[in-house]
Amino acid sequence: MGSLRLRLVQAGYRRDEALTIFFGIRVMFALGLFFLFSTSIVFERPNLLLALGGLGVGYILPGMLLARMAKRRAHRIRLALADALDLLVVSVEAGLGLDQAMTRVGEELAFAYPELSSELKLINLELRAGKPRAEALRNLADRTGVDDLSALVTMLIQTDKFGTSVAQSLRVYSETLRTKRRQRAEEAAAKTGVKMVFPLVLCIFPSIWVVTIGPAAIKFVTVLFPMVEGTNK
């Protein structure tokens, strides 16, 4: 797959005509903004420079929106991965094979995490179609673009290759993943203070200054102006 086709798949659009539809949307956005800025609807006189700028923005904007949609979907899959691993460990330890366990987990997560559930069901379809398990797992990592899932796929392929215990490997990786998840949460909490500086400076501090300094300024003006007027007279 090309980079754009891969981005569409990572955003959840797997249909064959998704690439054609995306190019159509991109062309419509570009031409729409071009005609909007080249006519007198927005400005009194048409501006060719702004029209060309609108053409470029209209061409780039759908790609930016698609990248954001893919990032949000990857984030939802990343959040669902820890719970999916717990279910996978329980299923494997209960006696199911890895393929059957992934199918079972995909069915159980259909309501809570539909994105990850659809990806696990797609693995089952690929295996039924005759693809090797390693290739199906690599396709899963490519379709999602999640680093944690790529590491899980690598671990499962190595486990299958060397014949080690799948349940033990999944349990160790599940603990590692939850540790990484907690570290991400701590990192996000540490960044909160820095992110709150700009809202405080731009929104809260001016209101505090008006409340605290406003009455004194009004009193100062009411006392000072009569004195200045009396001096001038």
**For residue 148, what pLDDT band results from cuts at 50, 70 and 90?**
confident
Model pLDDT, residue 231: 60
DSSP state of 233: -
169 and 103: one domain?
yes
Q: Does residue 104 sit in the same domain as residue 180?
A: yes
Read off the pLDDT of each residue in 28-36 and give the average, rounded to a whole number.
86
Say if residue 65 is in the same domain as residue 38: yes
Same domain? 115 vs 60: no
Let me know whether 81 and 170 are in one domain. yes
Q: Are residues 80 and 186 in the same domain?
A: yes
Of 23, 53, 73, the position where a domain reaches its end is: 73
Select from 73, 89, 106 the last residue of a domain: 73
161 shares its domain with 117 = yes
Query: How much of the chain exceeds pLDDT 70, in percent?
Result: 92
- Other beta carbons within 10 Å of 5: 15
Residue 232 has pLDDT above 60, yes or no: no
For residues 159 and 143, state if they share a domain: yes
Nearest to 120 by CA among 156, 71, 69: 156
**Token pair of 190 as six digits:** 């540490």
Average pLDDT over residues 22-38: 87
Q: What is the pLDDT of residue 68?
A: 93
pLDDT band at 183 (very low <50, low <70, confident <90, very high): confident
pLDDT, residue 22, reads: 92
pTM: predicted TM-score of the whole model, two decimal places: 0.77
User: In this structure, what is the dihedral angle of CA atoms 108, 111, 112, 114, given to the nearest 10 degrees?
Assistant: 90
Given 58, 73, 88, the domain boundary residue is 73
Our count of domains for the chain comes to 3
User: Computed from CA positions of residues 177, 179, 181, 187, in that sequence, does the dihedral angle turn out positive or negative?
Assistant: negative
Q: Tell me the two tokens of residue 201.
A: 């400076």
Q: Give per-residue pLDDT as tens, 100-139.
A: 888 899 888 888 889 999 999 899 899 888 888 889 999 9
For 36, the domain range is 3-73
Backbone CA torsion sign across 5, 140, 15, 60 = negative
Examine the domain organization and report whether 33 and 56 are in the same domain: yes
Q: For 61-70, how does the pLDDT look when each residue is reduced to its tens digit (9 = 90+)?
A: 999 999 999 9
The mean pLDDT of 163-191, rounded to a whole number, is 84
Q: Are residues 83 and 174 in the same domain?
A: yes
Both tokens of 183, joined, read: 């570290």
Closest CA to 127 of 139, 116, 143: 139
Q: Are 29 and 43 part of one and the same domain?
A: yes
Proportion of the chain above pLDDT 90, given as a percent: 10
CATH label of the domain that carries residue 176: 1.20.81
Residues 24 and 104 occupy one common structural domain:
no
